[in-house]
Amino acid sequence: MRRYKVTLTTAADGTATGYAPKTSGNIHSVQYVKPGTNSFADGVDFTITAEATGENIWTEQNVNASAVRYPRAATHTQAGAAALFAAGGTPVQDRIAIGGDRVKIAIAQGGNAKTGAFHILVD
């Protein structure tokens, strides 16, 4: 397991963009740590994607506190149909894989000159 920490500070308009180092593997989790002092404003919006493909890893609006997410993506059959546990059942999901790519973190509504940290666990 590898941990990448990305700390961001917002511009006057409340936005920030940052990147984890280039890596390969399955994304296990993404943890947002709100530091308490001078942290992103309540109601901050996150858009976290794979840089090369734009694949969604975590998108959430109006976040007020530290949070941990374990992102998963839908899987498919060789025919391109959604893979299900049983006919008409729950979709099968798996970890999101990246190969030689960076995780891109975009912040909006974060307040002026506010900070927050993201820990990305990759295995």
* pLDDT band for position 89 (cuts 50, 70, 90): confident
56 part of a folded domain: yes
Instruction: Kindly report, residue by residue over 6-17, the tens digit of the pLDDT.
Output: 999 999 999 999
Closest of 102, 121, 112, 98 to residue 33, by C-alpha: 121
DSSP class of residue 101?
Answer: E
Range of the domain at 94: 2-23+38-73+82-122
Closest of 118, 123, 115 to residue 58, by C-alpha: 118
Instruction: Kindly report, residue by residue over 4-54, the tens digit of the pLDDT.
Output: 999 999 999 999 999 999 999 999 999 999 988 899 999 999 999 999 999
User: Would you state the pLDDT for residue 44?
Assistant: 97
Question: What is the domain count for the chain?
Answer: 1
Cα 27 from Cα 72, distance rounded (Å): 9
Instruction: Kindly report, residue by residue over 52-62, the tens digit of the pLDDT.
Output: 999 999 999 99
31 part of a folded domain: no
55 part of a folded domain: yes
Cα 74 from Cα 98, distance rounded (Å): 15
User: Would you state the pLDDT for residue 112?
Assistant: 97
Question: pTM, whole model, 2 decimals?
Answer: 0.92
The rounded mean pLDDT for the chain is 95
User: Would you state the pLDDT for residue 85?
Assistant: 86
